[in-house]
Amino acid sequence: MAAKGTPRKAVGGTRGARGVDPIQAEVMARYLLATSEEMAATLMRTAFSPNIKERGDCSTAIFDRHGEITALAHRIPMHLGSMVGAVAEILKRYGPGEIRPGDMFMANDPYNGGGTHLPDINLIAPVFADRKIVAFVANIAHHADVGGMVPGSEAAVCTSIFQEGIRIPPVRIMIEGEINRDVLDLVLLNSRTPEERIGDLQAQFAANVVGTRSVKALFKRYGVANTESTIAAYMNFTERRFAAAIKRLPPGVYVAEDCIDGDTEGTFAKIRVKLTVGNDKLEFDFTGTDKQIKSSRNIPSRAVLATIYTVAQSLLDPGVPANAGYYRTIEAKGPSGTVVDPVAPAAIGCRSVSCAVLGDVVAAALTQALPEKALAGSGPHHLFIFSGTDPRSGAYFVDYETMAGGMGARANRDGMDAVRVHASGASNLPIEALEHTYPLRIERYALWPDSAGGGKYRGGMGVVRDYRMLANDIVVSLSSERQHVAAAGIAGGNDGARGQFIFNPGQPDERRLPSAAADIALPRGSVLRICTPAGGGYGSAAERDAGAIERDIREKRTT
């Protein structure tokens, strides 16, 4: 596998560990986290597209001058993979003398240090103090369209990254505070909705300006040397804390596997991991995973790391600070050219849906070492992108949406209903915002009865949502997982319901649509039903508490 966790003795490893005031360290860490949250608030409140301002499909982070993450706002865990290594790639391409105050860099290409799929555009800005770079601030926003063969720039049917949109290596988008119009014009020209793109990019610029101002103030208040050594010490503390959590696991080797959909309906590609626990370290070896596939369900190596970091943190120590300190305790490896480490020009656009299955594999391996925190298989979100001409304005629109599934049951409680799982995090698009912006009407939006996997503890329920078309030329692209391989129950629990896309439910021409398709015409007045997969159950259903069964019936979770 090309990308691995940050080495144990990464830059900044043990510097400043002695003589650091722990209270001051906590104050600085909380300040940086608050700054990253302030950046996220700025981005969401000034963005144009519903995908960012309503769904929150964006993330913000702060790095030290070497490129290690020191603070990450709690938004989209998957975006962590888009940020890891981004600063290092910029420093590789631009010497210290070439980077100046007011510069910003843009990137989105996973094969050139820019992210994990093309709609996620990174914007990174240096922070200067005493005339030298002391930190970087960054944000990432999922743009609803960056070109490619399909509106929305993301479809499982793509077979090459060249079909997925404009590819941007790290380039300078702002030069000493002035926008580089040449680069900006290239991006806008490659989008079907350039008005949204310029608005969202302006919001990203604003978020980095806010972050730069606040981080600069921290270094001014405490001094460069003191601030750098204190932050390094805090990251070392994070490493030690997570290593202590790993120590509580029984040493050993744990193997798990699952499947994502393959290149054609009903075929599969296996993800296999061997987890080795020992020496204060987790090693994930993906040898035995199937070769990369043609469809865009492949997962870039940085997205693999983001998923591992997120699942390991949630199961071992959910409160560990969100910085690169704990990444040092985790390593991922395996051969290149597989579905978890594809090589160019493999398509990777739908990696987030695949990462939900990958998250189940990682959780299944960790569950063997942590039976008291066992987690059954979960239902990933479904992706669907409507596009066409809005008859109210005559303008072309692209409505990028994902809909949450259900979380797997745990060893001591039911799974959560209608929730993003593992590395996913964006919201379902609110009905009011949807209907105001696009020629679509929601006629049903509910939890999906009887979808949860039964057990002593039931899985989380999926969602059912019906869309009525209010324009003449609407087409939709569909991408999903868990329509053929259900989220597995454990310890005798039942599997969760598999997802579905249904055209005109209850009508004479009702039909089930493929789990992956592009440009399906939806005539005016027709309905598309989205049913997202549910989580698996834990334990035998015969052991379920009578009061819980009563509540399920009363709340119409089951019929």
Between 96 and 417, residue with greater pLDDT: 417
Least confident span in 75-89, 202-216, 523-537: 75-89
pLDDT of residue 18: 57
Rounded Cα gap, residues 43 and 429, in angstroms:
17
Number of H helices, E strands in the chain: 11, 20
pLDDT of residue 15: 37
Token readout for 121 is: 């555009």
Say if residues 489 and 459 touch (Cβ distance below 8 Å): yes
pLDDT of 423 higher than 90:
no
Rounded Cα gap, residues 22 and 300, in angstroms:
37
**In the predicted model, what is the mean pLDDT of residues 115-138?**
95
**In the predicted model, what is the mean pLDDT of residues 323-336?**
95
Starting at the earlier edge strand, list the strands of the sheet with 463-469. 440-447, 463-469, 527-531, 500-503, 511-512
> 17 pLDDT band (50/70/90 cuts)?
very low
* Cβ-proximal residues to 556 (8 Å cutoff; 6+ apart), any chain: 449
Type of residue found at 163? Q
Pairing between strand 132-142 and 120-129? antiparallel
pLDDT of 417 higher than 60:
yes
Closest CA to 258 of 373, 333, 156, 340: 340
Rounded Cα gap, residues 191 and 142, in angstroms:
13
Other CB atoms within 10 Å distance of the CB of residue 12: 23
Model confidence pLDDT, tens digit, residues 212-268:
999 999 999 999 999 999 999 999 999 999 999 999 999 999 999 999 999 999 999
Angle subtended by helix axes 194-222 and 224-247, to nearest 10: 100
In sequence order, what E strands does 368-472 have?
382-389, 396-403, 440-447, 463-469
**In the predicted model, what is the mean pLDDT of residues 13-31?**
77
**In the predicted model, what is the mean pLDDT of residues 526-547?**
97
pLDDT of residue 182: 97
| Arithmetic mean of pLDDT over the chain | 94
For every residue of 250-317, which 3-state class applies, written as one string? CCEEEEEEEEEECCCCCCEEEEEEEEEEECCEEEEECCCCCECCCCCCCCCHHHHHHHHHHHHHHHHC
Type of residue found at 122? N
Rounded Cα gap, residues 125 and 140, in angstroms:
12
Of the CA atoms within 13 Å of residue 44, those in its CB half-sphere come to 19
Rounded Cα gap, residues 114 and 47, in angstroms:
21
Rounded Cα gap, residues 480 and 406, in angstroms:
14
Model confidence pLDDT, tens digit, residues 482-510:
999 999 999 999 999 999 999 999 999 99
165: left (phi over 0), alpha (psi -120 to 50) or beta: left
For residue 160, the 8-state DSSP code is S
Type of residue found at 458? R
Of the CA atoms within 13 Å of residue 216, those in its CB half-sphere come to 17
Model confidence pLDDT, tens digit, residues 29-64:
999 999 999 999 999 999 999 999 999 999 999 999
Model confidence pLDDT, tens digit, residues 134-170:
999 999 999 999 999 999 999 999 999 999 999 999 9
pLDDT of residue 80: 74
For residue 467, the 8-state DSSP code is E
pLDDT of residue 14: 37
pLDDT over 90 for what percent of the chain? 90
For residue 32, the 8-state DSSP code is H
The structure's pTM equals: 0.93
Q: How would CATH label the architecture of 22-241?
A: 2-Layer Sandwich (3.30)
Rounded Cα gap, residues 25 and 23, in angstroms:
5
Query: Could you tell me the residue ranges of all domains in the chain?
Result: 22-241, 374-559
For residue 341, the 8-state DSSP code is B
Q: Give the sign of the dihedral formed by CA 246, CA 250, CA 252, CA 255.
A: negative
Model confidence pLDDT, tens digit, residues 175-209:
999 999 999 999 999 999 999 999 999 999 999 99
Beta bridge partners of residue 379, listed in sequence order: none
Rounded Cα gap, residues 134 and 210, in angstroms:
16
DSSP string, 390-409: -TTT--EEEEEEEE-B-PPP
pLDDT of residue 346: 97
Rounded Cα gap, residues 84 and 72, in angstroms:
11
